[in-house]
Structure 1
Amino acid sequence: MFQLRTQAPEYKPDPYGKVEVAGPSDYPYRLNFYDDPPTHMVTLEEFESCAIDRLRVLGEIEACFARNRPPDERKAIVRAQCRKYLPLDPNDSLSRAQFEQRKKDHVGHFVLRLAFCRSEELRRRFIKAELELFRVRYEEELDSELESFLKTRSFGLELVDDAEKMKYAELLKDANPKNYVSFSKKVPPKDLAKERFYKVRWTRVPDLVEHRKVLVKGGWAYVPASEQSSIVFNELEAHLKTSLEATAKALPRLDEDTRIVPLLDHLSKGFLAGVPAEWDAEHSGEDIRADMIDDIARKHYPACARNLHENLRRDRHLKHFGRLQYGLFLKGLGLSIEEALLFWRRSFSKFTDDQFNKSYKYNIRHSYGLEGGRRNYPPKSCQQILTQDQPGAGDNHGCPFRHFSTDNLESALLAWYSPHGLTQDDLDEVTKIVKAGHYHVACTRVFELTHAAQGVKKGEGVSGDSVSHPNQYAAKSRELEKTHTESVKMDVDGSGVTMAL
């Protein structure tokens, strides 16, 4: 399907005609049914970046469904995500980026098709998210471009002639009376004679039949043009289902490609924990000192880091993976190597200096890239925490939303976050999200609930995204506190009132 290269040289004519180069004519419309896979050359970097940006959008769509957002709210979020990661300009736009935008959309879809074809559950979730993305794009498409796009495909529609339409006129009106009866003087009723109807087998439009929006007679459904979109969406759903099943059968051929399979494994876990947002994961915020950590933990930590901190304070020790996860988190928080050594030495107070230096100092320096291969390790993302190094008995690393029992999770959340606004009533919503397997969405909801006093509303998440990284959570929490404090201080100073904050 894809031809991959590790570099991006200039395109040169191939004397054997084996290399195809995509051009603007390959993408005449913004809407795409993704019938044909890309056959042009794609770099590994492009292969990954196109998929990740598309996954950011699909991940937010999945989060919207997990939180039962209403359609209008969901549509607004999808549009915002598309503007950010998958913009598609119309044909009459003055932008010259149309071709690159549409090629990126095309490549990203097929890469994720490879990643999410592996199981029935992944295919189902991928199709649901893709359909919602297509639906939003369809509804905001220009009428002229939409009509042209629909003419490029055969949807098996049979236009109902005037004679047949008049024959069933009363039944057609009864099937959807709101279209033809005016309930307001400001909204005139539609003229049935001018309305176009299409005839399709009723099995093609089960959703319209279910909601009694169409006339069903003799095995045919009479669909008004205003409901034509349902046929288009059902057609796309059937097409994606068939295509994903075919891709799953062909996927074993990629097993020997060590460049592609690890990347697809990583992408397939994107719905589990989201995709890390575009921010500096290695160091966010100002430098901090060892003696500041207790206060920061109490006010700004996500559940995974809070659990590690509380257990470290209680046991004065953490096992290897716990030290690794928490140490890298602190590094991303802004703790220098000198302060890190001081923090861990104080925390491991039951050990002598000699024991600490022999057993732990090297690993701390190693995580900062100062020993061994001198690799500068970044903090772990939610996806890594959820999928790697699963905790066993006596371990404290991992994600509490996934690895705690329901009772333990509720008790822990109340203990950690009730001072910040979390109540017993909120736990039902959070645990419902957890039981559905949307762990990062549950963490996002806790963030919203505990930062309502700083102006965070339900649905806003962390700067418009779901939590996908522990340091993202902590950095945004500290930023909100700083902004809120400065705002209150300005109000107090402006009114001439002195107040202790």
Structure 2
Amino acid sequence: MQKSSRRQEEEVQVHSDLKYSHRLSLYDRPPTEDITLEEFETCAIDRLYVLSEIESCYARNRPFDELKKITKSQCEKHVPLDHNSAITKARDDQRRKDITGHFVLRLAFCRSEELRRRFVKAETTLFRIRYLDASERERRDFCKSGDFDWTQVDESEKSMYAPQLKAAVPDADAKEQYFKVKWTSVPDLVEKRRVFLKDGWAYVPSREQSSIVFQEFQTRLEKALQMTAKALPRMDEDTRLEPILANLSQGFIAGMGSEWGTSENTGEGIRAEMVDELAHKHFPMCMRNLHDNLKRDHHLKHFGRLQYGLFLKVLGLSIEEALAFWRRSFSGYTDDQFNKQYKYNIRHSYGLEGRRANYPAKSCQQILMNDQPGASDSHGCPYRHFSPNNLQTALLSMYSPQGLTEADLPEIMNMVRAEAYHVACTRVYEITHATQNVRKGDGIGSGETITHPNQYARASMALEHAAADGVKVEADGDIVMS
């Protein structure tokens, strides 16, 4: 008993030392500290990595156990939130980042009913996973602090409705506690007939208390987003924040994968004569389309050259090989025409002319949202910018040799109709790499979805390199010995 009492005293001291005493939050109090513009954006981006992966899981109809595993993995990478017992961790800093990221994303996703719906669904799922992962003490302390609109049913009322409560919860014993809430607070339990209803009240057993908490979280967030939307016009006057919020609101459409865009992620060097074979075996549809159009027309317009050229650069094509590749591809031009019209831009993209910047390859989000293609353009994302009929024809034409069939098209097109374009691309990757032991739901490893064309190509090339050596390929394309 003395040890137990001492442990409780230590836990109280641990809680009292924290500015943010609870790991779980209803996000009913916005952060009040001063933060830099960089931190404003970073906190939101890190959280968006997690939320976009949750949305991808829903688009792929993953079971909840898989969704939970993937979400926890993403949280550990981007928004870790340790338990109160982890006294060696910077728990206050973690919770401050968590709360800041949430409120910044509220500003980004309150702009339309559709964005609000998707944000609420992803945030409620994240909260649910964290709640289920919390200790009994954390849940209890959180519920005590949350000002939930429920009343604990006393013993006399339990006795009065004992038969009805027993009928609703047949396996409940005499010690089961009940909470009385408005029936509209637990529509899921009412639908499943797992509560006793009386005069507009639902009698919820303690084992189902989480349903009340989840519904309360969702309801409060929906109301908060509507209030934020009304206040947003005043925020639009701040020219520093508007571009950040506009960019964040696109995160659900293409996921978050910008770290794949720099030349630090290049694989082995490739030569100009290798590109055609690589395109047919390893390129995502956007780059395969550009390559096929370049072969057919011996030319690409500006945005097509930019999108494809930066992709090849990060893939490992050196400036010398790039000049050789583009000169060979533009076979209808004389050397003089090529040098005057195109050589400078190729060198510029490698940082050898003009500003001499190391330009990154374009991510899925940039391809989807920027520089929209016209009727005669080849750049963009086929999953978004092709008509349904043209997309299906192109998929079969490009990927039938790798195992994609007409039977796979309905599933892919359902993802496209749901605007989960990068998820559709990931499914194509799984289908075309099934012979290399990539199963449905694996993504590019650990269930991760594709968010960058170079991510697709590198993972595909790594699988081929690993096949003969009996090694395992990680989600980032790295090869490790099994």
Calculate the TM-score normalised by the size of structure 1: 0.88
Equivalent residues in 2 for 1:14-413 (5 A)? 25-177=18-170, 180=171, 190-191=172-173, 193-276=174-257, 278-279=259-260, 281-282=262-263, 283-413=265-395
Contact 1:176–1:212 (8 Å) recurs in 2? no
- Partner of 1:63, secondary structure, is helix
Residues 467-492 of structure 1, C-alpha deviation per residue, up to 9 Å, x if partnerless?
Answer: 1110111111111111112229xxxx
Structure 1 residue 475 corresponds to structure 2 residue 439: no
1:58-88 Cα offsets, whole Å, 9 max, x none, are: 0010011111111122111111211222211
For residue 418 of structure 1, report the CA deviation from its aligned partner.
Answer: 1.7
Mapped contact 1:281–1:472 kept (Cα < 8 A)? no
Amino acid at match of 1:217: K
1:250 and 1:297 map into 2 onto residues whose CA distance is: 49
d(CA) in 2 for partners of 1:377, 1:416 = 29
2:142 aligned counterpart, secondary structure: helix
Instruction: Name which of structure 1's ranges 309-318 and 353-362 shifts more when overlaid on structure 2.
Output: 353-362
Q: Secondary structure at the match of 2:35?
A: strand
Alpha-carbon separation, structure 1, partners of 2:314 and 2:31: 39
Map Cα deviations across residues 433-473 of structure 1 (whole Å, 9 max, x no partner). Answer: 00111001101111111122222222221233211110111
Judging changes above 3 Å, is the alpha-carbon distance between structure 1 residues 83 and 468 closer, same or farther for their aligned structure 2 residues?
A: same
Distance across 1 between alignment mates of 2:93 and 2:27: 16
Q: Distance in 2 between matches of 1:51 and 1:201?
A: 35
1:327 offset after TM fit, Å? 0.8
Structure 1, unaligned runs of 5 or more: 1-22, 181-189, 489-501
Measured after TM superposition, the shift of residue 95 of structure 1 is 2.6
Looking at structure 2, the residues matched to 82 and 460 of structure 1 have their Cα atoms a distance apart, in angstroms, of: 19
| Contact residue 281 and residue 471 of structure 1 kept, 8 A | no
On the 8 A contact 1:89/1:95 being kept in 2, the answer is no
1:19 corresponds in structure 2 to: none
How far is the alpha carbon of 1:382 from its aligned partner? 0.3
Task: Give, in whole Å, the separation in 2 of the partners of 1:269 and 1:381.
Answer: 12
2: CA distance between counterparts of 1:337 and 1:212? 67
Give the counterpart letter for 1:389 in structure 2: D
The CA deviation at 1:24 is 5.8
Q: Say whether the 8 Å CA contact 2:107–2:245 is kept in structure 1.
A: yes
Name whichever of 242-251 and 294-303 sits farther off: 242-251
Once residues 258 and 330 of structure 1 are traced to their aligned partners in structure 2, the CA distance between those partners, rounded to angstroms, is 35
Deviation at 1:26, TM superposition (A): 2.6
Deviations 1:397-449 (A, max 9, x none): 00000011112111111121122222221111111100111001101111111
Give the Cα–Cα distance (whole angstroms) in 1 for the partners of residues 407 and 43 of structure 2.
Answer: 41
Q: Match of 2:354, as an amino acid?
A: G
Q: How far apart, CA to CA, are the structure 2 residues paired with 1:415 and 1:475?
A: 22
Question: What amino acid is aligned across from residue 294 of structure 2 in structure 1?
Answer: L
Q: CA offset at residue 280 of structure 1?
A: 5.9
Q: How far apart, CA to CA, are the structure 1 residues paired with 2:422 and 2:88?
A: 36
Moved more, 114-123 or 89-98: 89-98
Q: Larger deviation: 257-266 or 275-284? A: 275-284
Counterpart Cα distance in 1 of 2:323 and 2:463? 29
Deviation sequence 1:114-134 (CA, Å, 0-9, x none): 111111111110010000000
Alpha carbons 2:44, 2:102 under 8 Å: kept: yes
The 3-state SS of whatever aligns with 2:354 is: coil
Q: How does 1:446-485 map to 2 (within 5 A)?
A: 446-464=428-446, 465-485=448-468
The answer to which of 368-377 and 62-71 deviates more is 368-377
CA contact (8 A) 2:260 2:454 kept: no
Structure 1 residue 278, shift from structure 2 partner: 4.0
In 2: Cα distance, 1:485 partner to 1:419 partner: 21
Q: Distance in 2 between matches of 1:256 and 1:362?
A: 39
Contact 2:261/2:361 (<8 A) preserved: no
Question: 1:312 and 1:131 mapped to 2: Cα distance?
Answer: 46
Contact 1:24 1:99 in 2 (8 A): no
Answer yes or no: is the 8 Å Cα contact 1:196–1:224 preserved in 2.
yes
Please give the alpha-carbon distance, in whole angstroms, between the structure 2 residues aligned to 1:259 and 1:219. Answer: 49
Secondary structure, counterpart of 1:335 in structure 2: coil
Deviates more, 1:362-371 or 1:224-233: 362-371
1:221 match: secondary structure: strand
Q: Matched residues in 2 for 1:64 and 1:174: separation?
A: 36
What SS is found at the alignment partner of 2:197? strand
**Cα 1:356–1:46, aligned 2, differ >3 Å: closer, same or farther?**
same
> CA 1:217–1:384 in structure 2 vs 1: closer, same or farther (change >3 Å)?
same
In the alignment, is the contact (CA less than 8 A) between 1:31 and 1:138 conserved in 2?
yes
Normalised by the length of structure 2, the TM-score is 0.91
Q: Secondary structure at the match of 1:57?
A: helix
The AA in structure 2 aligned to 1:473 is Y
- Separation in 1 of the partners of 2:395 and 2:246? 31
Cα-to-partner distance string for 1:170-189 (whole Å, 9 max, x where unaligned): 22222233xx1xxxxxxxxx
How far 1:330 moved relative to its partner?
Answer: 0.8
Structure 1 counterpart of 2:262, one-letter code: A
1:374 to partner: Cα distance: 2.1
Deviation at 1:57, TM superposition (A): 0.5
Structure 2, unaligned stretches of length 5 or more? 1-15, 472-482
Residue 25 (structure 1) shift: 3.1
User: Which range moved further: 254-263 or 374-383?
Assistant: 254-263
State the aligned residue count.
454
Residues 1:433 and 2:426 aligned together: no
